[in-house]
């Protein structure tokens, strides 16, 4: 009995049938079956390398020679070609379920010398036969010395050819990266399919989301707004916080060329955001101490912003519907305080608009950017991070004790927090700029996205919902306390 082995190195969508199977596999399998019949071999099973099951349950194929990171017996990690189909055939041969393998060509079966040596071990131990349509793969009763030697020579040559091709492809990609050219694949968000020509509408999304992230708007809130505007990603899928994060972290947003994860120069297209803004976004999104909260994005101005006046300890409120037709703000800790959402929001937004309409609002809230040497701050921050890495090495070498390492680490991290805040302050634009000086501040405030309205309120005041002093129906303005910052 023989296992028939078919492999396709790179299958594209146009090569698939309606069932998701490679169109050419049927005829290729038939040729192998005909050869098996001529050899007098029965067919145990047909193994098609690359078979994976997609989300809809239909099969499609991918490259058989994709390398994956694996852990070696000595505990180290390395990139290795992982081909489960070929490995399953070795299992068949080793357990006696099959006694032979029939493939199209040696090159289509084994190109990695490790695979060949594993096959030789099994073939010699179990007297395995092997043949190919091209004649390049021939093993007789475990393989003669000549057959084994020829296979080793041919696999070595094929492996060298693969490495030469890989080296040329890598060199070509590096040249493209240095020149700022697009390396191919799915078009990046913000660009036309050539990967260089900007799309103004998508550039505006990148710029707007980068700016608002630095102001304090959450990724979840911005993704919710993008979904509400029916804006789509390059794949046509709705926006999520994770997808938006990936887009905002791309160096190409600042027109930076990247090769193997490192910035190597400037790209030839205009930047969607200045480099300082991108660096600030990068620092914020990669900060391990960054606060993130699970769940849906807030849908009301006061959720997590307004405070509970009964607790009076910084506890905020959220929104509940309960048995009432209208949403109500309620203390997060207890049901001891609740207030109708719409009258409170109308009162707070009206008060904020009135305050921002006063002449002194410019000086109080919209302070101009200070003259900060961002490059010098970045240089100092990089030096501190390098020194923190050196502390671990010094501790391992016994040059410092544990207490010294902890004290120096805390001091370094504290200084880094200060530097990061200073660099952010240099590029963050106040969310109030669009309101101060507007002809109708209330209308301008109402036209802003919900996430920005929440940010404006949190920037200019502290809102506390206190127990009502007036009995009866209707909204009591005295039940909302506004303290201006």
**Whole-number pLDDT of residue 15:** 47
Q: pLDDT at position 171, please?
A: 75
Question: Rounded mean pLDDT of 365-388?
Answer: 71
Query: Given this model, what pLDDT does residue 290 score?
Result: 67
As a residue count, the chain comes to: 485
Q: Tell me what pLDDT residue 144 has.
A: 95
pLDDT at 66: 57
Query: What's the pLDDT tens digit per position in 180-235?
Result: 677 777 899 999 998 889 999 999 999 999 988 888 888 998 999 999 888 889 98
Query: In the predicted model, is pLDDT for residue 25 greater than 90?
Result: no
**Is 434's pLDDT higher than 80?**
no
pLDDT tier for residue 371 given thresholds of 50, 70 and 90: low
Average pLDDT in the 400-407 region? 87
| CB-CB contact of 405 with 191 (8 Å) | no
Q: Report the C-alpha gap between 447 and 453 in whole angstroms.
A: 9
- 345: nearest Cα among 235, 468, 454, 461: 454
Kindly tell me the number of DSSP H helices and DSSP E strands found in the chain: 14, 16
pLDDT of residue 360: 77
Q: How far is CA 343 from CA 335, 346, 484, in A?
A: 19, 5, 20
Let me know: does 244 contact 219? Beta carbons within 8 Å: yes
Confidence of residue 432 (pLDDT cuts 50, 70, 90): confident
Tokens 């919710």 locate to 224
Encoding tokens for residue 44? Answer: 């145990």
Tell me the CA distances in angstroms from 394 to 250, 380, 385, 402, one per residue in order: 34, 21, 14, 10
Exposure string of 104-118, with b = 16+ CB inside 10 Å and e = fewer, is: bebbbbbbbeebbeb
In the predicted model, is pLDDT for residue 370 greater than 50? yes
Helices (H), ranges, 96-144: 113-126
- End-to-end alpha carbon distance in the chain: 83
Burial of 452 (0-12, 13-18, 19+ CB in 10 A): buried
Q: Whole-angstrom Cα distance, residue 15 to residue 61?
A: 9
Per DSSP, the three-state class of 263 is strand
For 438-460, the pLDDT digits (tens) are 788 889 999 888 988 998 999 88
- Using the predicted structure, report yes or no on whether residue 377 has a pLDDT greater than 80: no
**Alpha-carbon dihedral angle through residues 251, 253, 254, 257, given to the nearest 10 degrees:** 50
Element (H, E) at 172: helix 145-179
CB atoms within 10 A of CB 440: 11
The winner for highest mean pLDDT among 255-264, 376-385, 440-449 is 440-449
According to the model, what pLDDT value does residue 64 have?
44
Is residue 391 left, alpha or beta, with left meaning phi > 0 and alpha meaning psi from -120 to 50? alpha
Any idea where the domains of the chain sit in the sequence?
Answer: 2-172, 200-286, 307-367+431-484, 374-419
Confidence of residue 12 (pLDDT cuts 50, 70, 90): very low
For the ranges 90-104, 425-439, 470-484, which has the lowest average pLDDT?
A: 425-439
Range with the largest mean pLDDT of 263-267, 364-368, 441-445:
441-445
Distance CA 141, CA 130 (A): 9
Which has the minimum average pLDDT: 65-69, 150-154, 220-224, 244-248? 65-69
Report residue 109 as tokens.
């079966």
Tell me the average pLDDT of the chain.
83
Q: 2-172 maps to which CATH number?
A: 3.40.50.1390
Residue 341 backbone dihedrals phi, psi, to 5 degrees: -70, -50
Percent of the residues in the chain that have a pLDDT greater than 70, as a whole number: 82
Q: Per-residue pLDDT for 73 more than 60? A: no
How far is 405 from 397, CA to CA, in rounded Å?
12
pLDDT tens string 27-72: 888 999 999 999 999 999 999 886 444 444 444 444 444 566 766 5
């Amino acid at each position: 009995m023989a296992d028939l082995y078919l492999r396709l190195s790179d299958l594209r969508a146009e090569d698939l049938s309606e069932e998701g199977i490679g169109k050419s596999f049927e005829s290729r399998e038939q040729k192998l079956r005909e050869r098996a019949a001529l050899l007098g071999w029965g067919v145990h099973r047909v193994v098609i390398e690359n078979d994976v099951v997609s989300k809809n349950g239909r099969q499609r194929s991918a490259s058989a020679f994709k390398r994956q990171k694996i852990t070696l017996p000595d505990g180290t990690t390395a990139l290795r070609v992982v081909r489960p189909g070929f490995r399953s055939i070795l299992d068949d041969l080793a357990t006696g379920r099959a006694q032979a393998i029939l493939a199209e060509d040696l090159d289509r079966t084994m190109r990695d010398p490790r695979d060949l040596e594993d096959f030789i071990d099994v073939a010699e131990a179990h007297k395995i036969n092997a043949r190919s349509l091209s004649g390049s793969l021939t093993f007789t009763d475990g393989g003669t010395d000549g057959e084994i030697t020829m296979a080793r020579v041919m696999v070595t040559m094929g492996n060298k050819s693969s490495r030469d091709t890989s080296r040329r492809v890598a060199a070509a990609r590096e040249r493209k990266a240095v020149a700022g050219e697009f390396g191919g694949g799915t078009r990046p968000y913000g660009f036309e399919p050539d990967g260089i020509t900007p799309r103004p509408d998508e550039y505006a999304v990148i710029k707007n989301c980068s700016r608002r992230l630095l102001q304090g708007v959450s990724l979840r809130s911005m993704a919710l707004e993008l979904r509400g505007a029916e804006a789509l990603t390059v794949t046509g899928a709705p926006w999520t916080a994770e997808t938006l994060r990936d887009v905002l972290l791309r160096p190409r947003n600042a027109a930076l060329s990247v090769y193997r994860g490192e910035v190597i120069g400037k790209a030839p297209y205009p930047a969607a955001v200045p480099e300082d803004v991108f660096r600030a976004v990068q620092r914020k999104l990669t900060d391990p101490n960054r606060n993130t909260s699970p769940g849906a994005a807030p849908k009301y101005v006061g959720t997590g912003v307004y405070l509970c006046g009964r607790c009076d300890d910084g506890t905020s409120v959220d929104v509940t519907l309960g048995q009432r037709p209208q949403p109500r703000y309620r203390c997060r800790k207890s049901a001891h305080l609740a207030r109708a959402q719409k009258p409170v929001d109308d009162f707070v937004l009206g008060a904020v608009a009135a305050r921002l309409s006063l002449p002194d609002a410019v000086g109080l809230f919209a302070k101009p950017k200070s003259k900060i040497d961002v490059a010098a701050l970045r240089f100092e921050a990089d030096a501190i991070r390098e020194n923190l890495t050196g502390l671990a090495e010094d501790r391992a070498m016994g040059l410092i004790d544990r207490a010294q390492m902890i004290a120096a680490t805390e001091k370094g991290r504290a200084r880094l927090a200060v530097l990061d805040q200073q660099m952010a302050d240099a590029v963050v634009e106040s969310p109030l700029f669009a309101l101060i000086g507007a002809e109708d501040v209330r209308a301008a405030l109402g036209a802003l996205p919900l996430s920005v309205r929440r940010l404006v309120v949190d920037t200019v005041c502290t809102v506390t919902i206190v127990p009502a002093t007036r009995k009866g129906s209707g909204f009591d303005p005295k039940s909302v306390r506004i303290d201006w910052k």
